[in-house]
Structure 1
Amino acid sequence: MAKRPTIAIQGIKASFHEEAALTYFGEEIETLECMTFKRMFEEMKQERADYIVMAIENSIAGSLLPNYSLLQDYNFPIIGEIFLPVQLHLLALPGLRFEDIKYVQSHPIAIRQCEEFLQDLQGITVLEKSDTAACAKEIQDLQLKDTVAIANLNAAKAFGLEVLERRIESNKKNYTRFLVIAREHEDIKDANKASVCFRVNNKPGSLAKVLTIFAQNNINLSKIQSMPVLGKPNEYNFYLDLEWTEQKAYDLSLRKILKYTHNLSVMGEYKSNDTRK
């Protein structure tokens, strides 16, 4: 029997990261729980994980900027993506009443996604924790009768909690995009999307020239993100997601932008999997 792949996830079982991993790989996997994003990369570096599934952006909260740095620091290849609809619920021990609630706890990103709902709760303290599912588990483990968690239905089922309020996220079309990262390079058949990173000269029009080359070759930019380079004033890393219909046009674009960029790296070539469309 073939060995199940081990997938490093941020958080614990029943978290959104585990849900994303199951969506991409199916049920026949082992998940490796990591409390930080960096820990996932360290586990794969030590060959205790075969893949990483990592959130990179959310339609409400925006990009997870530190995760771009991790991609650069560890240089493991991106081989896929998942767009996971985020449905958030208010979970509590069975029988808890609204008037008993003193604390709401969840991951900071989940809290941001539910700001409108939380603004209507009077006299309740919001606690930021490391993981949505772990917040739900803590309520069950410690039998917290004054605390509720913001998490998904998997967490409610896993830890025997009751749903006090359903779908409390501000935007009902809320998605988180996850990247699938491998320990070793894999050839992806019919790849039509890439994540690249580069720097440009600090001169007027340098970035515009690069973007013009992509436009002239019908390369769609579905994402552009800049981050300052530490210790180098006025220098930025630009992270781009590129999509194409003709492989030759993509290859030509990369060759042409070499004239205007430096430190160009292709972080991964994979299939576009935007299920929001």
Structure 2
Amino acid sequence: MNVAIQGQAGSFHEQVAKQWYGDSVTIIPCTSFRDAFEAFGSDEADALVTAVENTIFGSINEVYQLIEECEAPIIGEVKLAIDQMLVVNPGATLADITEVYSHPVALAQCRKWLSKHLPNAELIDFFDTAGAVEFIKTEKGRHMAAIAGAQAARLHSLPIIARSIQNHKDNSTRFLVLEPTPAQANASKSSLVITTSHKPGALVEVLQVFADAGINLAKLQSQPIVGKPWNYKFFIDVDAAGEQLYHVIKQIEKSDHQVTLLGEYVADNRSHMLFMDATHPGE
């Protein structure tokens, strides 16, 4: 099984992919989210794992569009707690650090800590948190640090001088797994894209159909429609699947709204999310 991810060895995406598919999975590392989806589209990968939102950063808008364009359905979700680390070269101290490298999402997650403890350091975007650790190791500069997970630090044998530096302790990321296989029989959650008809109250009309069916909306995310300024489509996660969902979709479509079902899967409803040596939602 080849699985495409955004990131490289030691990244959070790699950890999630191996948790879902097992340690024997072959990881296809990609620089960007689009590269990961293109790896799947070109048959280089059999499946892909992608972050879609984070409790601090919010939704990763680019990923929603890529999922809509992807031929593979969503077959699963994983929600994991995130713990950010400040990784340095041997012998470095906080006083030495003038440059901090990481993915922009990870930097944003740690903005408060960085402002307090490294107010004069230059924050430098990198394509991947684990890649940032590898980069500072190669450069060997004591003035350089990277924000990443503990696994990336261990992989490259670099010390951690500050732990849990994210803005909030309840930092967690939701990942989706996409693979061209049928939905599980016990699927309990679904993701859809709904393009409402251009009339007053269109979205309210759609939401009322879900309410009348007793279906809870877990997420509602608007996205602009390319080529139609100020018109929007809506990515919706609902706590329903199977025949109950299909009936609702038919009702919505009767009112001239367009519905695309992105996938049905088992919801990750753990009250306490699995804590792992994590990095960020975009690596």
TM-score by length of 1: 0.94
Cα offset, 1:263, TM superposition = 3.1
1:122 maps to 2:130: no
Structure 2 partner of 1:137: 134
Counterpart Cα distance in 1 of 2:258 and 2:196? 9
Amino acid at match of 1:211: L
Q: Is the 8 A contact 2:223 2:233 kept in 1?
A: yes
1:23 alignment partner in structure 2: 19
What 5-or-longer segments of structure 2 have no aligned partner? 273-283
Alpha-carbon shift at residue 251 of structure 1 (Å): 2.4
Q: Is contact 1:8-1:53 (8 Å) kept? A: yes
Cα distance in 1 for partners of 2:67, 2:26 equals 23
Partner of 1:10: 6
1:130-181 superposed Cα distances (whole Å, 9 cap, x missing partner): 1000000111122122100000000010011101001001111111101101
Deviations 1:213-236 (A, max 9, x none): 111111111111011101112321
Which position in structure 2 is the counterpart of 1:228?
A: 224
Unaligned 5+ runs, structure 1: none
Task: Give the Cα–Cα distance (whole angstroms) in 2 for the partners of residues 270 and 122 of structure 1.
Answer: 44
**2:132 match: secondary structure:** helix
Contact between 2:183 and 2:263, CA under 8 Å: does it hold in 1? no
1:168 equivalent to 2:161? Answer: no
Distance 2:126 2:66 in 1: 21
Higher mean C-alpha deviation, range 151-160 or range 136-145? 136-145
Q: Structure 1 residues 276, 105: closer, same or farther in 2, change over 3 A?
A: farther
Aligned length: 271
Partners of 2:203 and 2:102 lie apart in 1 by 39
TM-score by length of 2: 0.92
Task: State whether structure 2 residue 105 is matched by structure 1 residue 109.
Answer: yes
Task: Report how far residue 274 of structure 1 moved.
Answer: 3.1
CA distance in 2, matches of 1:118, 1:87: 15
Q: Could you tell which deviates more after superposition, 230-239 or 110-119?
A: 230-239
* Secondary structure, aligned partner of 2:237: strand
CA distance in 2, matches of 1:185, 1:247: 15
1:152 matched residue in structure 2: 149
- CA-atom RMSD in angstroms: 1.4
1:214 and 2:222 aligned: no
Alpha-carbon separation, structure 1, partners of 2:256 and 2:105:
33
The higher relative CO (CA closer than 8 Å, separation ≥ 6) is in: 2
- 2:143 maps to amino acid: D
| Identical-residue share of aligned pairs (%) | 35
Q: Using the TM superposition, give the Cα deviation of residue 247 of structure 1 relative to its aligned residue in structure 2, in angstroms.
A: 4.1
1:38 equivalent among 9, 30, 34: 34
- The answer (yes or no) to whether the contact 1:35–1:130 under 8 Å persists in 2 is yes
Q: Contact between 1:8 and 1:51, CA under 8 Å: does it hold in 2?
A: yes
